Every structure is written in structure tokens, then in C-alpha cells.
């Protein structure tokens, strides 16, 4: 059984019929918006159709329109664009720090100092959260941000960093510094940190470090978000 549509007045069948039906629904939907002069209201409401106008559009509103779902995702990404940006910058900074550690010999000749100097990464990590929340406060909250708003923003950054942690660890251990695990295993055996090679290899392994990176990113992100949000929040706000 064929369908006929007003675009080309041509018969179409099967899956093409559904595609044309959706296309025609979208056409009539936006035509109705133009006829009702709703574009200014939609734009001023961040592309949301005002509730008072929905009834006029209901007869031509397509069910589960893909462009509506895509628009919602774009709006969501726009809302959290700052957190996404700084989360990805944190990932890049982490990889750059690992490269710096390798070039400075902390994964080879100076591996005995690695345990202590690697903790200096906390300085740029905290600074990045400060810059991120200050930008969020300035651009999205017009200079006035509560503690809760800052904390939530920090949590979203933490979520981005945590999701990328396994990949970040894989790039570090496989691409940037593949010699780290063999070197640190030997060092741990020489210093008696681990009593057996099997124990050392189980601890200093890619799988274990991936797990640690996820847990560490989540916990440290929570603490950092809580502390930084307290100092970045506006003085006049109570929460």
C-alpha cells in the first residue's frame, strides 16, 4: 500500500513512507509556528514552546520528533558547556603531567622520588577547579553563585573526569610511559615494599590502576568541589 505526500505528490512504500510522513509532519509543524508568529517567543524561551501556545500546535505536533530530542540534547550541552570544557581540560592536563613526570625521570632514574613529587599534581588540579567555578559564576550566574550551585558545577566536572579516567590511565600506561610499571615493580621489590613479585605485579598493573583512577577521581573531585565552591561562592549568599 502506497502513501502520497504533498512535497512531490509521488507514491512511496515501506520505510520510505515513514520517513516522508515524519518529514511532512515537521514541515507542517514549523509552518504552523510561522503562521502563529511564535518564533520570537520560542527564541526568548530558549527554544521551548510556551505552554499557552502548545494547544494551537498540538494537531501538527509530531510524536517523538527526532529534531525535538536533538534540540533538547543541544540545550543540555549548552547549559553545561563550561563543565564539559573544564572536564576535558582536566583530562588533557593529567596527560601532560604524566608526560612531564616521565621527562623529568620520575618513572625511571628518579623513581624513588615519584611517590612524593607526584602529589604536586594537586596544585594545578585545584587551580583548574577554581578557574572553572569562577567562569561558571561569571558567565552563567552573572557574578552571583550560591554554594550549592558551585558544588553541583564541580560535581559535573568530576563526573566528566571520572568517565574519562580509564581511558586517561590507558593512554598514560600504554602510550606515554609503558616503562613505568616494570620500573616501579623492581623498585618496590628492592625496597621491600612488596614481598613477592606476584604481589607487586598485581598492584602495579593497568587493571588495578584503572580502578584506582576512577575511585581517586571521584573522591578527590568531591572533596575539591566542596572546598572550592565554598571559597568561590558569592559572599552575600547563604547556601
List, for residues 112-143, the tens digit of each pLDDT value.
Answer: 999 999 999 999 999 999 999 999 999 999 99
132-179 tens-digit pLDDT: 999 999 999 999 999 999 999 999 999 999 999 999 999 999 999 999
Distance (Å, whole) CA 156 – CA 43 = 27
The answer, yes or no, to whether residue 65 has pLDDT greater than 80, is no
pLDDT band for position 236 (50/70/90)? confident
The answer, yes or no, to whether residue 87 has pLDDT greater than 80, is yes
Over residues 51-66, the mean pLDDT reads 50
Distance (Å, whole) CA 72 – CA 68 = 6
- CA dihedral sign, ordered 138, 163, 215, 184: negative
Task: Give residue 79's pLDDT.
Answer: 81
Distance (Å, whole) CA 197 – CA 46 = 60
pTM: 0.69
42 CB-contact burial (10 Å; exposed 0-12 / middle 13-18 / buried 19+): middle
Over residues 88-104, the mean pLDDT reads 97
Q: pLDDT higher for 76 or 66?
A: 76
Amino acid at each position: 500500500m502506497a502513501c502520497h505526500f504533498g512535497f512531490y505528490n509521488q507514491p512511496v512504500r515501506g520505510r520510505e513512507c515513514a520517513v516522508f510522513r515524519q518529514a511532512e509532519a515537521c514541515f507542517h509543524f514549523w509552518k504552523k509556528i510561522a503562521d502563529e508568529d511564535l518564533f520570537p517567543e520560542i527564541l526568548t524561551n530558549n527554544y521551548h514552546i510556551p505552554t499557552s501556545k502548545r494547544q494551537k500546535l498540538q494537531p501538527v505536533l509530531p510524536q517523538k520528533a527526532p529534531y525535538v530530542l536533538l534540540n533538547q540534547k543541544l540545550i543540555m550541552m549548552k547549559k553545561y558547556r563550561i563543565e564539559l570544557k573544564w572536564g576535558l581540560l582536566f583530562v588533557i592536563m593529567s596527560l601532560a603531567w604524566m608526560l612531564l613526570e616521565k621527562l623529568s625521570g620520575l618513572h625511571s632514574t628518579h623513581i624513588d622520588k615519584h611517590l612524593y613529587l607526584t602529589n604536586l599534581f594537586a596544585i594545578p588540579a585545584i587551580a583548574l577547579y577554581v578557574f572553572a567555578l569562577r567562569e561558571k559564576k561569571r558567565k552563567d550566574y552573572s557574578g552571583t553563585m550560591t554554594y550549592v550551585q558551585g558544588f553541583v558545577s564541580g560535581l559535573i566536572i568530576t563526573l566528566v573526569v571520572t568517565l574519562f579516567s580509564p581511558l586517561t590511565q590507558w593512554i598514560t600506561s600504554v602510550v606515554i610511559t609503558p616503562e613505568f610499571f616494570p620500573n616501579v615493580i623492581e623498585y618496590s621489590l628492592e625496597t621491600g615494599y612488596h614481598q613477592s613479585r606476584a604481589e607487586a605485579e598485581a598492584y602495579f598493573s593497568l587493571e588495578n590502576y584503572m580502578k584506582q583512577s576512577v575511585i581517586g577521581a571521584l573522591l578527590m573531585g568531591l572533596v575539591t568541589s566542596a572546598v572550592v565552591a565554598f571559597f568561590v561562592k558569592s559572599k552575600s549568599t547563604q547556601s
